[in-house]
Amino acid sequence: MTYRSSAKAKSDVNVSSLIVTAPAGVATGDVIVAFTTRDGGTGTITLPTGVTQLASSPLSSSLDGEISACGYKVESGTPPANYTFTYSVANDCVAIVSAHSNIDNATPLNQSSGAANSSSNASPMNVNATGITTTDTCDLIYCCAPDWNN
């Protein structure tokens, strides 16, 4: 498998959708991973069209008041020019889309796990990734942990 590229977007004002431009060079057969975090831990997140939300998603942090969602998609046909994330409650948000090539399109994902840290804005913050045991050599382990300020 090969990392192709990624793209991100953020809004520091209340919005109900966020558009991320497609990663550079994304092509038919690539597996994309889409991730977003929205301030305010209530409401729902809709991932971009065709993206399968992971079973461990969404996650919310009651003390920090954030909600996150993650999913994947195998691109078929002509990839879109952008990916749109929508939120039932408008707030500030951040999203990233990454593209990976040379992944088995029939079974691009064999397991997922999620964890949140309700640290009440402590710094530094630790989030323990648990529940993942790789099953093949060269498995991709993808961690999404956005830094709101960056």
* CA–CA gap between residue 87 and residue 118 (Å, rounded): 21
For the stretch 59-93, pLDDT in tens is 766 656 778 888 899 999 899 999 999 999 899 99
- The contacts of residue 2 (CB under 8 Å, 6+ apart) are 100, 101, 102
Residue 113 has pLDDT above 90, yes or no: no
For the stretch 28-47, pLDDT in tens is 999 999 999 888 767 889 99
Whether 5 and 24 have beta carbons less than 8 Å apart is answered as: yes
* CA–CA gap between residue 46 and residue 110 (Å, rounded): 22
* CA–CA gap between residue 123 and residue 50 (Å, rounded): 36
